[in-house]
Chain A
Amino acid sequence: MSEPESDRMIEAEPGRTPRAGRGRDADNAPPEAIVAIPLRHPWRILIAVVLLLGLAVFVLDAAQRADYGWPDVGKYIFDRRISQAAWVTLWLTIYSMIGAIVIGLLLAIMRLSPNPVLKSIAWLYIWIFRGTPVYVQLVFWGIVSLIYPVFTLGIPFTTPWVTVPNEIFTNLFITAVIGLALNEAAYMSEIVRAGLLSVDEGQEEASTALAMSWGQTMRYVVVPQAMKIIIPPTGNEVISMLKTTSLVAAIPLSVDLYGVSRGISAVTFTPVPLLIVASLWYLLFTSVLMVGQHFIEKRFSRGTGRVKTGKEPAAPEAPPTAGPGAPGAPLGTDFGGRG
């Protein structure tokens, strides 16, 4: 009861500052919350119920069907052959991605270089490796040792100085890594290129004006900023590569997860349970990678936020709200630890 009374008193005496101060307090009181009947979504609920029922029927049915061979799934899921094959798949992914990132970075820089020959070669590479299916490429790398049984060094069309048997492409694991890496490099180069192009032109200009060479500009100015754009989609490519490794059957390399699962099922005549086993392992790996990807994206989206504010001289007076620092903290050295 006393609140409205004091409000009236303020209206009566607007000139008195202490009263005006209290008046501000009254304005700051939280407004009355809205109590309304929320919008109903009957169709949403209906569709959800139907889908849930369908799923339940499918699961109950699948659990009873002999073809799924659930006892076999349990038997093979931790089979040593399977877990070793999972290990092979993991290393195939890691080696291929490392190769793809290195070659992709090289291709991206070649494509952006002022040299027309480098540019064309990179373009040609990407055209071929993105324009043909990875499965076909893997088949090709599998038979390349038949086309080039020896490596030679010397003047073309004369007797070679050195002849080395082609042992690279007779090792199927190395062949698989090369095949996957060369294909993925074409995609990685586009990701890297997008990252490099995302860096403001003024950055290169400022660096050039400071007498830094093109290489130094790339290394110290452009690439570090491009990383924030490059890394999140690269995480996606890792996940994608993990699954693509199953195609090494085309080489044919059969010691990876899918290959070994097929191998076992060819003997036991139980293809379905082994497909389930392989899928569960793939799901485990991709799930772990997805969690990692989530954190990487969170971290780097924060980073790009800061880059954007840095490029926004139109609003330079804004306090560093976009920055990770505590708002209201004094400007300056407090932020030194970040970055």
Chain B
Amino acid sequence: MTDVPMVLAEKVSKNFGTNRVLRGISLEVDTGEVLCIVGPSGSGKSTFLRCINHLERVDGGRLSVDGQLVGYRQKGEKLYELKLKEAAFQRQEIGMVFQRFNLFPHLTAVENITLAPMRVKGLSKTKATARAKELLERVGLGDKGDAYPAHLSGGQQQRVAIARALAMDPKLMLFDEPTSALDPELVGEVLDVMKELAKSGMTMIVVTHEMGFAREVADTLVFMDEGVVVEAGAPRQILSDPQHDRTKAFLSKVL
């Protein structure tokens, strides 16, 4: 491990027109750390997550992943926007899992997983497929390789989506409310996969409403509201003894 944090955000801000979605987010995620972000909807959690892999452009502050500025290159005092190719290259190291899975419906589970490694990293089909089967085994879907997304339950689809993100061998995994679109009885199987991933030492940032998961798995819990970090710290402490009024109000509604 190096002393450079995996994710370093310094006063990150983001506007959509006049709407200031992020108003200076500062936080640090070390390698191997699991950070959970909670907060009411519209608080900017998802936007912040999408800034980390440059799906959204950061408007202010500094955001870097593994010591590299996201979306920009610094030369002296000046910042240069990255070319699309360079931005894509940065994303190779960052896996993302979406609320609505976003599996490719015209491809089987294995094809979903092998597409990017083959097209981006130039892996051979045999190698990529072998790796895909390994990953499907890991998320407990070893027998579903040939299934199309429509034939899988939501929980199974989300696990395939996790395997798809892992296939690029990311250093960092981003989860954008990975269980919010799931029926309650399917949440557990996805959280189990995520717990296993956390145990294996993956650096993870998880936007979630699953307080139980946050309490159990997170090293740090961040409460966000109206584009700022209201409170951050050990999950047990924040969940049982919130310091800030807004945190208290939010937790009283969700716990």
A residues apposed to B, CB below 8 Å: 200, 202-203, 205-214, 216, 220-221, 224-225, 306-307, 309-311, 313-314, 316-317, 320, 322-323, 325, 331-333, 335-336, 338-339
A306 and B150 form a contact (CB under 8 A): yes
Instruction: Collect the chain A residues with CB atoms within 8 Å of residue B119's CB.
Output: 212, 216, 220
Instruction: Collect the chain B residues with CB atoms within 8 Å of residue A211's CB.
Output: 88-89, 91-92, 116, 120, 168
State whether the Cβ of B13 lies closer than 8 Å to any Cβ in chain A. Answer: no
Closest CB of chain A to B178's CB: distance in Å? 11
B residues apposed to A, CB below 8 Å: 53, 55, 84-85, 88-89, 91-92, 94-96, 98, 100-106, 108, 115-116, 119-120, 143-155, 157, 161, 164-165, 168, 181-183, 186
Q: List 24 A-B contacts (CB under 8 A).
A: A202-B100, A205-B98, A206-B96, A208-B55, A210-B116, A211-B88, A216-B120, A225-B105, A306-B148, A307-B106, A311-B100, A313-B181, A316-B153, A316-B182, A316-B183, A317-B183, A323-B150, A331-B144, A332-B146, A332-B151, A333-B146, A333-B147, A335-B147, A339-B108
Instruction: Collect the chain A residues with CB atoms within 8 Å of residue B146's CB.
Output: 332-333, 335-336
Instruction: Collect the chain A residues with CB atoms within 8 Å of residue B94's CB.
Output: 209
A210 and B165 form a contact (CB under 8 A): yes
The residue that B148 contacts in the complex, of A208, A214, A220, A335, with Cβ under 8 A, is: A335
B151 and A320 form a contact (CB under 8 A): yes
B102 and A205 form a contact (CB under 8 A): yes
Instruction: Collect the chain B residues with CB atoms within 8 Å of residue A320's CB.
Output: 150-151
Closest CB of chain B to A63's CB: distance in Å? 54
A332 and B143 form a contact (CB under 8 A): yes
B183 and A335 form a contact (CB under 8 A): no
A307 and B115 form a contact (CB under 8 A): no
The residue that A339 contacts in the complex, of B91, B103, B148, with Cβ under 8 A, is: B148
CA distance A224 to B105 in the complex (A): 10
CA distance A323 to B150 in the complex (A): 7
Q: Which of A202, A207, A209, A306 has the most CB of B within 10 A?
A: A209
Instruction: Collect the chain A residues with CB atoms within 8 Å of residue B102's CB.
Output: 200, 202-203, 205-206
Instruction: Collect the chain B residues with CB atoms within 8 Å of residue A335's CB.
Output: 146-148, 151
CA distance A179 to B95 in the complex (A): 49
CA distance A203 to B161 in the complex (A): 12
Instruction: Collect the chain A residues with CB atoms within 8 Å of residue B151's CB.
Output: 320, 323, 325, 331-332, 335
CA distance A333 to B120 in the complex (A): 27
B168 and A214 form a contact (CB under 8 A): no
**A316 with B168, Cβ < 8 A, contacts A208-B55, A209-B55 known:** no
Instruction: Collect the chain B residues with CB atoms within 8 Å of residue A325's CB.
Output: 151
Q: Which of B55, B89, B144, B148 has the most CB of A within 10 A?
A: B148
CA distance A161 to B149 in the complex (A): 58
B105 and A206 form a contact (CB under 8 A): no
User: Which residue of chain A has its CB nearest to the CB of B99?
Assistant: A313
The residue that A224 contacts in the complex, of B98, B106, B150, with Cβ under 8 A, is: B106
A210 and B91 form a contact (CB under 8 A): yes
Q: Which of A202, A307, A310, A335 has the most CB of B within 10 A?
A: A310
